[in-house]
Amino acid sequence: MSILHLAHKLQLDSTLSLYKSLVSLYSVLFTQSFYTACVRVLWGAGTCFVLQSR
């Protein structure tokens, strides 16, 4: 295993770990915004239902 090969493997590993951390960050942000959107939709539907039932 040459130094160049080792450096390439390390670069690949760091790129993969960076990609994984970005993906996990995106998934966390997406799930948070997804839950927020669901809560807003449910809140809006509940408010409309309460206003209509009056």
Range of the domain at 33: 1-53
Give yes or no for residue 54 having a pLDDT over 90.
no
Answer yes or no: pTM beyond 0.75.
no
The conformational region for residue 4 under phi > 0 = left, psi -120 to 50 = alpha, else beta, is alpha
**CB burial string 23-37: b at 16+ within 10 A, e below:** eeeeeeeeeeeeeee
Domain count, the chain: 1
Q: What is the mean pLDDT of residues 1-18?
A: 87
Model confidence pLDDT, tens digit, residues 13-25: 899 999 999 999 8
Q: What pLDDT score does 3 carry?
A: 84
Q: How far apart are CA 19 and CA 54, in angstroms?
A: 52
